[in-house]
Amino acid sequence: MTEDIMWLWFNNIDGIGLTSRLRIMSKLKNIDRVHEANKEQLQDILKNNQINTFMNSKKDINKYIELKEKLMERNVWFVYPGHKDYPIKLYDIYEPPTLLYVKGNINNSINSQNVNIAIVGSRKPSVYGSEMAMKFAKDLAGHGINIISGLASGIDSKAHCGSLLAGGYTIGILGCGINLTYPRENAELYAKISKNGAILSEYGLDVGPVPGYFPMRNRLISGLSDGVLVVEAKKKSGSLITADYALEQGKQVYAIPGKLLDSNSEGTNNLIKEGAYLVTSYKDIMFDLTKQEEYKDSDICSEQNSIRASDEKKRVNKNFLAPIEKMVYSCLSLEPTYIDDIIQTIGIGVTKTISVLYTMEEKGFIKQPVKGYYIISI
């Protein structure tokens, strides 16, 4: 039996989970000795029924050879401790995976020399949260930072999309089987990440999403990262589990401040109160990571100055707008404004306002997160 087949066998024995596998490896040291182990060597690690299952599983080697062939047919490969492409950053986390299924490319992309930032947050973010996730991911990816997230709906998806827009490298870590898209609406994003980054999972073919799998995958999101950015999170959120893992692993936690009394920002605001690094620009993260003076911008060091910077951004944009377009732009922000309210505020008539909105959207100055509602583009 080859080494990769042995690892595939070891990770697919029914009833023997990660904790048991790690205890076995801790005692027996390498996969050859694990495969050769007898009942006596396993007595103080496994229960009797587990030992019987373990010993019987060795009899059907063809099952695992066939499993590898099925994986290869779906362009899925796998790495394990000692494999040249096993992510170095995962060796030191609590309960490192004993096998990772991969779709895409991780060769030298997430080793100790690369800088990775995880971006996580609400599955049902506000428009503001979605825009911030996209912008931070795009800006960081544009400066060579790998973006890691959980390929969930909401903030995760926006983070992956922002990285891809910048031509960056992004990793999606699943809480289900490597070949499954969860949620289903992310099928196209899954395909794009597979081509321009990597999909990782501890779970093999056709393993459905189970609630308990998602907190476990969060340790991998933080473990692969050098820091975790929480964009929007409620008081009780899976994103805060990722933040907790990051702190346990000695990683920096960053948080974008949100509105008071906004339930979507309660978790992030609490993180800041507890000592998370408040960020209002990608430069804050870049400076913390690199300590390079080029990223130290005193105009982006406080919430008040951040508002000034945002106003300056507006003024720069306005230089490219016609007078009527400036009127429209001035009544918009990152909070969606309904078209009827714009029409009433501007007072130039329905037809003219719709024409101006269409032109401005074509130019990329504004956009519709939801049909009929407009925000500025950032």
Q: H-helix or E-strand containing 149? A: strand 146-149
User: Across residues 97-105, what is the average pLDDT?
Assistant: 97
Digit-coded pLDDT (tens) for 28-47? 999 999 999 999 999 999 99
Round to whole Å and give the CA distance between 378 and 376: 6
Q: Give the torsion through C-alpha atoms of 20, 22, 23, 26, to 10 deg.
A: 160
Whole-number average pLDDT of the chain: 91
Supply the CATH classification number for the domain 305-376: 1.10.10.10
Handedness of CA 227, 228, 231, 233 (dihedral sign): negative
Residue 135 pLDDT more than 70?
yes
Q: Identify the architecture of domain 116-300 in CATH.
A: 3-Layer(aba) Sandwich (3.40)
Query: What is the structure's pLDDT at 318?
Result: 60
241 dihedral zone (left: phi>0; alpha: psi -120 to 50; beta): alpha
Other CB atoms within a 10 A radius of the CB of residue 358 amount to 11
- With beta carbons less than 8 A apart as the criterion, state whether 232 and 136 touch: no
Query: What is the structure's pLDDT at 298?
Result: 43
Write b or e for each residue in 34-56: b if 16 or more Cβ atoms lie within 10 A of its Cβ, otherwise e: bbebeeebbeebbeeebbeebee
Q: Where are the domains of the chain?
A: 1-73, 116-300, 305-376
Query: What is the structure's pLDDT at 121?
Result: 97
User: Across residues 220-228, what is the average pLDDT?
Assistant: 97
Digit-coded pLDDT (tens) for 113-133? 789 999 999 999 999 999 999
275 dihedral zone (left: phi>0; alpha: psi -120 to 50; beta): left
pLDDT band, residue 302 (cuts 50/70/90): very low
9 by Cβ neighbours in 10 Å (0-12 / 13-18 / 19+) ranks as buried
Digit-coded pLDDT (tens) for 138-156? 999 999 999 999 999 999 9
Round to whole Å and give the CA distance between 351 and 328: 14
User: Across residues 344-349, what is the average pLDDT?
Assistant: 91
Residue 293 pLDDT more than 50?
yes
User: Across residues 312-331, what is the average pLDDT?
Assistant: 74
